[in-house]
Amino acid sequence: MVCRMPQTPTSHEAEESKRALQEEFPGWSFIFSSAGRWWAMKDLERDERGRLVKRGAVSDLDADTADELRAELRRVAVVS
């Protein structure tokens, strides 16, 4: 079995992928790092005392590609 590294997107491709992720997941922020990793972060909802409204909620994810990150975000959305 051959293991292939994901191809690093151009800056234009990364921006297009980031825009598409933002449209599909409006509550999340996205970063494509210089190391070639994709990150998604979300502020968790808190009550007036600063306690998390949803215990166990996911606030950050990372993946090798935008498509893998999208799949993780969809998985988290189903669980939530």
> How confident is the model over 38-73, as pLDDT tens digits?
999 987 777 788 776 766 667 889 999 999 999 999
Coil, strand or helix at 13:
helix
The predicted structure's pLDDT at residue 80: 61
- The mean predicted confidence, pLDDT, of the chain is 85
Residue 71 near residue 54 (C-beta atoms within 8 A): no
Whose tokens are 């993780």? That residue is: 72
Distance, in Å, from the CA atom of 49 to the CA atom of 18, rounded to the nearest integer, reads: 33
CB atoms within 10 A of CB 59: 11
pTM to 2 decimal places: 0.77
> How confident is the model over 64-76, as pLDDT tens digits?
999 999 999 999 8
Distance, in Å, from the CA atom of 27 to the CA atom of 24, rounded to the nearest integer, reads: 9
